[in-house]
Amino acid sequence: MTKAQKIKNFVEGVFDLYGFNKEGLFYYYDDKGNRIDIPLFLSNKIDHEMLEEISKRIGLTKNEILCMDNVAATKYWNKYPFYKLFKKYLSVWQWNSEFIDPKPTAEELLLNRLFGKGEGIYVRKRYNINSIQTRLIDQLKNFDSVMPGSYYENGEIKNLCFSTQEFFSFPQCSDMIRSLVEMVKNIQELFFKAIADNISEDEKLELNFLAHSLTAVDVVTPNTLITYENISVYKKVYIKEGYTDFYDYVKIKGIIKTCPWRCKEFFEDIDLVQEFINIFPQAKAAMREFAMDVSKLCCYFDWIDKDTGETLQESIEVYVPKTRKETYGWGKHINTLKRLSGPTKKGGLKTSLRTPFVLSDETFHRLQNRATAKSGGNL
Amino acid sequence: MEKLSPQEIAGRKLRKLIQENYTSQEEFAFEYGTDIRTVSRYINNGINKINAIQELADFFNISFVEFFKEE
């Protein structure tokens, strides 16, 4: 194996360790969706321009990459427990309805021993569709008293199906989030140090690493990661804008898609949850939607005339609250989630309104300044 | 005086709830996870869908029926 290939394997290992996206550097997808591998170094020769690019992404010096320095490669892994915990978190993160039922039925026990997975007994949650339909009809009759047309006396519910959400358990969730919050605090500090030209070489590397890991981008030009190089290009713009709030310059895009509020242990430390929302204020709305879905069954159905079979109303969506048994002991977590995701005046988490980027005079001006800075012009 | 439909009553209720809990409709829209045009439509034209009212009632911690109580 050539040294170029060994270095390629080393770099790929670092990408895998920290969960960096390898697309664009190690492979791409063609028009037909086929994955095409890309050699890291063309003609198998170590390319110093590519080394520079890799250095900026993974926060190692070119020399550390050339020496395939494993100690350097794991420095952020050791500094931030987030990475180790996040890998564990992803392995238990579930989008389907499987969960561990502490009291499976005898039939389910037998079936799972014969066909179940290796660790523990996984029992698919079951809901009684007849019970759901009965409760749905009772609810619609009640709604009809205030919103006529909700219930059809001569109607029949057809094609009823439903969806719902569930919590999962990851006991180290708070530790993981705490480490994430520390990473964000550090990148904030490094960002302002970079603007003030008061940043060491090691700090530049960490800034670059965190920018990639957290997908921390300029709020006006969201394709621009806040690496040291890009901050240097925009520095005069940032100084001129004069904001003191980090989030007036930067948006953190990474991590949020993994929805830690689906984990019941997420709510153990409310102050920590508030810190998370300070970083990702848009998560509060997602928490609200999840609160709705985890506490209720979302029913989809059509109303059909009993006598004629004619469709009276179709594709209706109505929530039916779960019974206590259907919430499987998560009542306390559901109540906490609902309160925290509700209005601040009623005990909900505080959010800062971060208006989505809309082309106004102010944002156009900010965009123009960045374009001028990039082209080397004077502001 | 023109009688309001239940859907319009629900829209008025929403406006009142937003005024009681937020400084602006934009602030509510952001926290709730919708856009300002939807909020305006709900307030001005009424709320037609049961599930939309259910979500709002749940958010403000009031019952579905309360949404239709005229103030």
Collapse the DSSP code of A296 into the 3-class scheme (helix H, G, I; strand E, B; otherwise coil) and give the result: strand
Query: Which among A147, A150, A334 is the top mutation candidate for probing chain B, defined by the most B β-carbons within 10 Å of its own β-carbon?
Result: A147
Angle between helices B25-32 and B36-45 (to 10 degrees): 110
Which candidate from B20, B49, B68 shows the least CB-CB separation from A146?
A: B68
Q: What is the pLDDT of residue A97?
A: 41
Q: What is the mean pLDDT of residues A264-280?
A: 93
Å between B54 CA and nearest CA of chain A: 7
What's the average model confidence in pLDDT over A70-85?
Answer: 96
Does residue A231 contact residue A191 with C-beta atoms inside 8 Å?
Answer: yes
C-alpha distances in Å from residue B23, one per residue of A147, A338, B9, B29, B45: 29, 21, 22, 11, 22
A289–B68 C-beta distance less than 8 A: no
Q: Is B68 on the interface with A (CB under 8 A)?
A: yes
- On chain B, the residues whose CB falls within 8 A of the CB of A355 are 26, 30
What tokens does A227 get?
Answer: 């690496």
Average pLDDT over residues A92-96: 60
pLDDT tens-digit map of A235-262: 999 999 999 999 999 999 877 667 899 8
> In whole angstroms, what is the distance from residue A54 CA to residue A66 CA?
11
pLDDT at residue A115, rounded to an integer: 66
CA distance, residue B29 to nearest chain A CA (Å): 9
Nearest CA in chain B to A337: B59
A318 touches B: beta carbon within 8 Å: yes
pLDDT digits (tens, 9 = 90+) for B51-67: 999 999 999 999 999 99
What percentage of residues in chain A have a pLDDT greater than 90? Answer: 65
Per-residue pLDDT at A376 exceeds 80: yes
Task: Take residue A24 and report the two structure tokens written for it.
Answer: 């664009």
CB of B51 less than 8 A from some CB of A:
yes
Tens of pLDDT, residues A201-216 = 999 999 999 999 999 9
Q: What is the pLDDT of residue A100?
A: 40
Phi/psi of residue A54, nearest 5 degrees: -65, -40
Which residues 144-173 in chain A show a CB within 8 A of chain B? 145-148, 150
CA–CA dist A314, A337 (Å, integer): 32
A135 CB within 8 Å of a chain B CB:
no
Q: Which residues contact A234 (CB under 8 A, 6 or more apart)?
A: A218, A224, A370, A373
Q: Which residues contact A72 (CB under 8 A, 6 or more apart)?
A: A60, A61, A64
Decide the pairing of beta strands A250-252 and A35-37.
Answer: unpaired
Q: Is B3 on the interface with A (CB under 8 A)?
A: no
DSSP code per residue over A248-273: GTEEE-SSGGG-GGGBGGGGG-HHHH
pLDDT attached to residue A340 = 96
Whether B53 contacts chain A with CB within 8 A: yes
Asked if A11 and A58 count as a contact pair (C-beta separation under 8 A), the reply is yes
pLDDT at A96: 41
Beta bridge partners of residue A38, listed in sequence order: none
SS3 A95: coil
**CA–CA dist A166, A293 (Å, integer):** 8
Is residue A281 less than 8 Å (CB to CB) from chain B? yes
CA pair distance A83, A14, nearest whole angstrom? 12
Range from A60-69, A187-196, A370-379 carrying the lowest mean pLDDT? A370-379
Return the number of CB contacts < 8 Å for A and B: 80
- DSSP bridge partners of A29: A35
CB-based contact B59 A342, cutoff 8 Å: yes
Report whether A67 contacts A7 (CB < 8 A). no
Angle at A172 between CA A169 and CA A174, to 5 degrees: 100
Instruction: Tell me what pLDDT residue A40 has.
Output: 83
Contact list in B for residue A316 (CB cut-off 8 A) is 50
Task: Extract long-range pairs of A139-147: CB within 8 Å, 24+ residues apart.
Answer: A139/A318, A139/A320, A140/A318, A140/B50, A142/B64, A142/B65, A143/B50, A143/B64, A143/B65, A145/B65, A146/B6, A146/B64, A146/B65, A146/B67, A146/B68, A147/B6, A147/B7, A147/B10, A147/B50, A147/B53, A147/B68
Q: Is the pTM of this model over 0.90?
A: no
> Is residue B7 a contact partner of residue B48, using CB atoms and an 8 Å limit?
yes
Q: Contact A346/B58, CB-based, under 8 Å? A: no
